[in-house]
């Protein structure tokens, strides 16, 4: 696999399934054998930015095939919504899939919309970065947009698969970014494109009306707290202008409430494995700071993320250097075993931030 300390992206291609799916973690009991649209889209974006374009291509092909497999359920969701009789959450499409594109049979926190928006954003960004044709993805893009247009306003689980009673700002931003990316791809039928445009505008208006507190984005509509995922909306997703006051105030709130010595927590009430710090969130914050013009801060956050690697260069999901709920750590270890290591999403985000810093250096020259 080469030196993962120097090239964390090598693990992405090495462990990618022959189907194109990226395993969330090859060894962690709760993740083994599954791929997520959310994690996978960010992994593919990291692979694409690091130069592994063919690997990203294979993942997006997997996404298209997987969407084709759930197209009948999307038809049913859209029809029920149009009839004013929305289907229950249990009938919504899953968030994680087996490598063959089928859904798992065990219980999971499944109704999550963010990944369906994120794969559209990541695929369009990859197509632009590497001048890729997107015609073969058009049916999957259309199906995904139909799902998002019909259901974006529904409460669902967040990135962390918690609190399905809320509408989460990170989820809304991912959906909005995905709809905007789909419009740029120019593969939508005219009527659907108009619906997607209206929905994307409505999402921005809703977030600005109900998703802010003291000038910063919040965890969910009506909340006052921040979430570590919010920095991704600044960069790499770019749904929030990195030069805006909203971006600056949001990043400052994340630093104040969630960042300790370079490591970023998910949210203040986190108890998962004791509520540790996540390398991937430090990288998201670093990407946002770099986009906002603070290279030194991005380098500091990257250094912390890289410091979490094992002796073999494997990056974990989180580390216990600063726990928010230390009394909760043991119960999760007893339930699922040690923290997921490696987590491919962590590797991808370190690679993504390194690629962004390298590009910034080139521009500075």
- Residues labelled as active-site residues: 158, 161, 317
d(CA 143, CA 138): 9
Classified as helix, coil or strand, 345 is helix
Burial classification of residue 328, based on how many CB atoms lie within 10 Å of its CB (0-12 exposed, 13-18 middle, 19 or more buried): middle
d(CA 289, CA 296): 9
* CB of 313 closer than 8 Å to CB of 265: no
Burial classification of residue 33, based on how many CB atoms lie within 10 Å of its CB (0-12 exposed, 13-18 middle, 19 or more buried): middle
Cis-peptide, bond into residue 63, ω within 30° of zero: no
d(CA 127, CA 12): 19
Residues 6 or more apart whose Cβ sits within 8 Å of residue 171? 112, 113, 114, 117, 156, 158, 159
DSSP annotation of 322 reads S
d(CA 97, CA 115): 12
Q: Helices 37-49 and 114-130: crossing angle, nearest 10°?
A: 20
* CB of 213 closer than 8 Å to CB of 223: yes
Q: Which residues pair with 277 in a beta bridge?
A: 265, 319
Size of the chain, expressed as the number of residues it contains: 365
């Amino acid at each position: 696999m080469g030196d993962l300390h120097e090239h964390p992206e090598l693990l992405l291609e090495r462990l990618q399934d022959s189907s194109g799916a990226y395993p969330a973690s090859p060894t962690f009991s709760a993740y083994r054998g599954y791929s997520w649209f959310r994690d996978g889209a960010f992994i593919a974006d990291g692979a694409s930015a690091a130069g592994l374009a063919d690997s990203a291509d294979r993942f997006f092909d997997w996404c298209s095939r997987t969407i084709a497999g759930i197209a009948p359920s999307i038809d049913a969701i859209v029809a029920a919504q149009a009839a004013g009789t929305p289907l229950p959450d249990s009938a919504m499409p899953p968030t994680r899939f087996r490598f063959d594109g089928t859904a798992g049979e065990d219980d999971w926190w499944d109704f999550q919309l963010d990944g369906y928006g994120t794969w559209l954003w990541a695929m369009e960004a990859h197509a632009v970065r590497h001048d890729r044709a997107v015609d073969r993805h058009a049916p999957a893009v259309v199906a995904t947009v139909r799902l998002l247009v019909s259901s974006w306003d529904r409460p669902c689980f967040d990135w962390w698969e918690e609190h399905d009673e809320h509408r989460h700002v990170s989820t809304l931003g991912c959906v909005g970014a995905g709809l905007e990316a789909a419009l740029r791809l120019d593969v939508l039928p005219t009527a659907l494109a108009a619906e997607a445009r209206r929905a994307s505008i409505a999402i921005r208006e809703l977030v600005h009306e109900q998703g802010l507190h003291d000038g910063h984005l919040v965890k969910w509509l009506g909340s006052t707290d921040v979430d570590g995922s919010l920095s991704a909306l600044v960069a790499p997703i770019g749904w929030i202008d990195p030069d805006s006051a909203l971006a600056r105030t949001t990043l400052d709130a994340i630093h104040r409430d969630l960042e300790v010595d370079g490591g970023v927590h998910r949210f203040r009430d986190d108890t998962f494995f004791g509520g540790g710090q996540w390398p991937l969130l430090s990288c998201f914050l670093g990407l946002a700071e770099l986009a906002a013009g603070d290279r030194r801060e991005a380098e500091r956050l990257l250094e912390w993320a890289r410091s979490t690697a094992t002796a073999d260069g494997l990056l974990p999901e989180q580390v216990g250097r600063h726990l928010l709920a230390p009394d909760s750590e043991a119960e999760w270890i007893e339930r699922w075993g040690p923290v997921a290591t490696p987590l491919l999403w962590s590797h991808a985000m370190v690679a993504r931030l390194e690629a962004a810093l390298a590009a910034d250096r080139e521009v500075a020259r």
